Structure 1
Amino acid sequence: MIQCLETEHKPDIVLLDSRAGMHDIAAVTVSRLDALAFLFAVDGAYTWDAYRLLFQHWRRDRNLLRHFRGNLRMVAGLAPDVGRPEYFASFRQAAYQLFTDYIYDPDGGDEPPAEGEEPFSFDLMSDSAPHDLLHVNWNRAFFSFDPVRRPDAVDDGLLQGGFGDFVERAAETLVGTQVKWS
């Protein structure tokens, strides 16, 4: 279906929205398409447990995992309006641990990289790593945003404050261009 739509419409970017989280259909799509996948999460035990189950499943097929693991990017969604530095540090540590356990190549472990490949591994603070977080900031204005009834309720400043990091870094990653906010 996606290939048919892409052939007909020739989009620059295709976004698949998995409203209820990463369910089985979206998980299969991520592993089978040669596309960048933004993995949205909040820093909580339920989120990390769910991703742990998914990553364990992906790790069962190391050859397939090697094909798409470089296309994964974590997004810290709903970053709180207070204590953001601590929240981001905790999120980064949890994401790093998850990727180290299931996605990155182990250091001298039982499964070395394929012949001719560099080890796929990153440091905790690497800003080019899949576990490095893009973020979307929580703001009460978006909680009840209704663009049909109240189109002026959110202005450019609120949009940039809430989605600026994500949009800027996603655009740079996807199309190699910088976003210019008006």
Structure 2
Amino acid sequence: MIGAHAETALALVGTYGAAAIFVVFALEGALVGKVLPARTLFVATVVAAGVEAVAVLPVFAAAVAGATVGQSAVFVAVRRFDVDPTEFRAVPVGAGRLDGAARWLDRWGLPAVAVSNAVPGTRGWLAVPTANASTVSGPRFAAASLVGSAAYVGALLAVGVAVALGFGGVLGLVGGELVASL
């Protein structure tokens, strides 16, 4: 059984399509939506859409754009308005984790933003130290965020396509009656 949040998110995707994926990934990028099942929702959407490029490319683009917009919003909020995201209960990232992210940024520079966005669990965390402790411009941060998010969502797309093809193969073996009942 899926949770209430996941069920609601799937219903929103069913109604609003890629726009719902954009919102979920924007919230995840803004560090607020870490409680939303963005990965699961994306894979489920790809499975539901099928493996045709015309069906999955808008979902891919919405996820990458949403994550980039969300992370850029955190970057701007920290840089221009001196917001500390760790003060908000909705942001499940502690100051200790941000210190680790800052050390990573100090060691590797702007490419660390792209790499961290490609790794589940660290996505978006470098927005705060990059805004606080570097001279990186907003557009350069957004470009690095976009590259990492595209790699991350591309990997999720590959998982979704593999699952979709796997389900199709299994359902084909079971028979048409079961497929018709789904």
How does the TM-score come out when normalised to structure 1? 0.37
Flag the structure with higher helix content: 2
Whose RCO is larger (CA < 8 A, sep 6+)?
A: 2
Flag the structure with higher strand content: 1
